[in-house]
Structure 1
Amino acid sequence: MKIAVISDIHGNIYSLIRALQDIDYQKVDTIICLGDLVGYGPHPNEVIAMIRRRNIVCIKGNYDTSVIDNKYSFIRETEINSFSLPWTFNELREENKYFLENLPSSISLNIVDKKILFVHGSPNVINEYLFEDDENTSQIMTSLNEDVLVCAHTHIPYVKDFKNKIYINCGSVGKPKIGRPNATYCILEINKSNRVNVQIKEIPYEYKRIVKDMTILKFPSKLIQSFEKGLE
């Protein structure tokens, strides 16, 4: 079984198109999206339309939830979010708000006797950051009932073994924080011998197109630069 895991597209249709092109080349069995389809970027409706058109299995992210609420429910009240949250809420079509509202918060799969849990932030909270070397990550992996935890939210891809369990962060398709403006996602493959293979993919795309769109729409320069530089 070969699964592509994407997340944190954040209204960036150009990076999503490029990532899906690469995924199609990988000949995966299915694609799972870990949420945050919207927020920050200027194409929330286009992103959701593509996810729906491709019938991609998807869960809800913290920014998705906050946009539905039109409140700082699960995002920080920052200068950028004070622009991005109301802009996205007003831009988003009602049918797409309904779509986001009805997404599940997690997905559990059992593949070749491997139990896999897919979440956005952590199994505990949708907006909890699980960095690979932090104490909370170690605690969660120790108590995890599943064999594999696949998450996102940090926008930084990583794979780490915790004794007999595997922690995977698939990174961010649309708004990376790796110091480069490239889309990242992961390929998760479970073979017949019960072995789990993980590959992090980093894909360049024409990021100057989204920079141009955001500039035309008069998005804050600090927000535009975060897409341009691949930083917070």
Structure 2
Amino acid sequence: MNLAVISDVHGNLDALKAVFEDMEKRNIDSVISLGDLVGYGPSPNGVVEFIRNKKVLNIVGNYDSAVIYDDFKYIRHNEINEFFVPWTRKELKEENINYLKSLPDNIELKIKNKKLVFVHGSTRSINEYLKENSHEAKDTMKEFDGDILFCGHTHIPYKKEYDEKILINVGSVGKSKMGTPECSYVIVNFLQDKVSFDFVKVKYDYEKVCHMMEKKEFPHKSINTIRTGIE
């Protein structure tokens, strides 16, 4: 059995489709999304509807929350977000807003005697960054009562072991911060009593997305991030 975990699509439908095409080649059994379906990218409705149609298990992200509640407390209050929050809120269909409002903050699963917990930021806050080797990550894992914690939010994938517990950041599908414009996601493989992880990178036509953003007169800095993987 295997499970794919994705996060931070951020309105980038082309990236999301590329990741699912990659999953089909790998015969993935099921998919979980760690939120932030919207924000930054040009296709928020397309992304939400794609996830809904695929019946993907999903949780709410901090940017999703900022958009649906029109509240900057979930995200950084800067010039980029001052553009994207109202733009995305206006663009989203009401049925898709209601879907985002219905999402849980976390998911817990028991597989092969392992407790798996899925969050967007951390177990403590939807917008806490669990950067690799950070004090926040160390403190979170000290308190964590499961076996494997999956998070997104930082857009940079990594695996870190804390004694018997494991922290997995799955990176970002639609807004890379890896220094390259690729998508990233993680495959979890369950073989008897063992669990292994494959960190996957997927190429896609990011220039097509950038052209769409340019036509919509999105901020240049946000377009450049899609091209370079650097924020």
Question: TM bucket by the smaller chain?
Answer: over 0.9
Cα distance between partner residues in 2 of 1:77 and 1:189: 39
TM-score for both structures, normalised by structure 2: 0.99
Give the secondary structure class of the aligned counterpart of 1:161.
strand
Structure 1 counterpart of 2:207, one-letter code: K
Give the secondary structure class of the aligned counterpart of 1:31.
strand
Cα distance between partner residues in 2 of 1:219 and 1:2: 38
Output one character per residue of 1:61-103: Cα deviation in whole Å (capped at 9) or x when no partner: 0000010111203001011001011100000000000000000
Cα distance between partner residues in 1 of 2:165 and 2:27: 26
Q: Which residue of 1 aligns with 2:134?
A: 134
Q: Which residue of 2 aligns with 1:99?
A: 99
CA contact (8 A) 1:120 1:153 kept: yes
Q: Which residue of 2 aligns with 1:195?
A: 194
Give the secondary structure class of the aligned counterpart of 1:172.
coil
CA contact (8 A) 1:187 1:198 kept: yes
Structure 1 residue 117: Cα displacement: 0.3
Cα distance between partner residues in 2 of 1:139 and 1:128: 12
Q: Which residue of 1 aligns with 2:207?
A: 208
| 2:210 paired with 1:228 | no
Deviates further, 182-191 or 167-176 = 182-191
Cα distance between partner residues in 2 of 1:116 and 1:45: 29
Structure 1 residue 25: Cα displacement: 1.2
CA contact (8 A) 1:65 1:73 kept: no
Structure 1 residue 139: Cα displacement: 1.3
Kindly tell me the number of residue pairs found equivalent between the two proteins: 231
Give the secondary structure class of the aligned counterpart of 2:73.
coil
- Shift >3 Å, 4+ stretches: none
Please, which runs of 5 or more residues in structure 2 have no aligned partner? none
Structure 1 residue 231: Cα displacement: 1.2
Structure 1 residue 110: Cα displacement: 0.4
CA contact (8 A) 1:34 1:58 kept: yes
Q: Which residue of 1 aligns with 2:184?
A: 184
Output one character per residue of 1:131-176: Cα deviation in whole Å (capped at 9) or x when no partner: 1200111111122100000000000000111111111000000001
Structure 1 counterpart of 2:14, one-letter code: Y
Output one character per residue of 1:31-60: Cα deviation in whole Å (capped at 9) or x when no partner: 000000000011000001100111111000
| 2:10 paired with 1:15 | no
Output one character per residue of 1:185-212: Cα deviation in whole Å (capped at 9) or x when no partner: 00011221x2110111011100001000
CA contact (8 A) 1:121 1:129 kept: yes
Q: Which residue of 1 aligns with 2:74?
A: 74
Cα distance between partner residues in 2 of 1:73 and 1:92: 20
Cα distance between partner residues in 2 of 1:150 and 1:19: 18
Cα distance between partner residues in 1 of 2:142 and 2:198: 23
Cα distance between partner residues in 2 of 1:12 and 1:136: 29
Please, which runs of 5 or more residues in structure 1 have no aligned partner? none
Cα distance between partner residues in 1 of 2:28 and 2:118: 17
Cα distance between partner residues in 2 of 1:16 and 1:155: 14
Cα distance between partner residues in 1 of 2:134 and 2:216: 38
Give the secondary structure class of the aligned counterpart of 2:3.
strand
Structure 1 residue 28: Cα displacement: 1.6
Identity of aligned residues (%): 44
Cα distance between partner residues in 2 of 1:224 and 1:94: 27
